[in-house]
Chains A and B, each alone.
Chain A
Amino acid sequence: QTVVTQEPSLTVSPGGTVTLTCASSTGAVTSGYYPNWFQQKPGQAPRALIYSTSNKHSWTPARFSGSLLGGKAALTLSGVQPEDEAEYYCLLYYGGAVVFGGGTKLTVL
């Protein structure tokens, strides 16, 4: 069974920069896994942020960026805002099936 691993929690100061990562139990994450990132705030449905590693949706704030870093998918938030406090999920594509990561709870403090 494929497992996608994220940091359980991270803390960042307002205005700071933080990078969340997403690893696959099958090995290094490449662009062929078409990494996606989602943000979820309490009581709300998830919201798509990034698709295919680094592409932003029209509604994605410019401070969010996606990349590949050291064999993992990465989501970087630059100039973090208080409203960025949320759970973040990555999703990887495995040839027709997809798997979500366990989520990273980002605290802005």
Chain B
Amino acid sequence: QITLKESGPTLVKPTQTLTLTCTFSGFSLSTSGVGVGWIRQPPGKALEWLALIYWNDDKRYSPSLKSRLTITKDTSKNQVVLTMTNMDPVDTATYYCAHSQSGYVPFDYWGQGTLVTVSS
């Protein structure tokens, strides 16, 4: 049974760096083809893909946010960490992490999401 859960601060101030952790079970990030991605959703708006990291440490980023994002993995801890720098109120959103069976079968299992509010 694959499960994922996001954790991190619920409130960050503008210009701060956000660090989110995805802790998962039921699969290994050392298995060929497997990946974990991050997706966000501002209140009442559409989903937006942020980043993906694969079993072989291949990392992919949304072109529009690439300069602000870093994704890393700790296979031994079953965790994936996303950092986003220079947070702004427009970054207020629910942030989801999701399992990818492969590059062509993305986001088949999702975490519950965590709401991050950016406000001073």
A interface vs B, CB < 8 Å? Answer: 1, 34, 36, 38, 40, 45-48, 51-52, 57, 89, 91, 93, 96-103
CB distance from A92 to the nearest CB of B (A): 10
Chain B: how many interface residues by the 8 Å CB criterion?
A: 23
* Residues from 95 to 120 in B contacting A, C-beta threshold 8 Å: 96, 103-113
B interface vs A, CB < 8 Å? Answer: 39, 46-49, 52, 60-64, 96, 103-113
CB distance from A105 to the nearest CB of B (A): 11
State the majority secondary structure of interface residues on A: strand
Contact B63 A48 (CB under 8 A): no
Contact A91 B111 (CB under 8 A): no
Contact B103 A52 (CB under 8 A): no
Name which residue of chain B comes closest to A6, CB basis. B46
Contact A93 B107 (CB under 8 A): no
Contact A45 B106 (CB under 8 A): no
CB distance from A58 to the nearest CB of B (A): 10
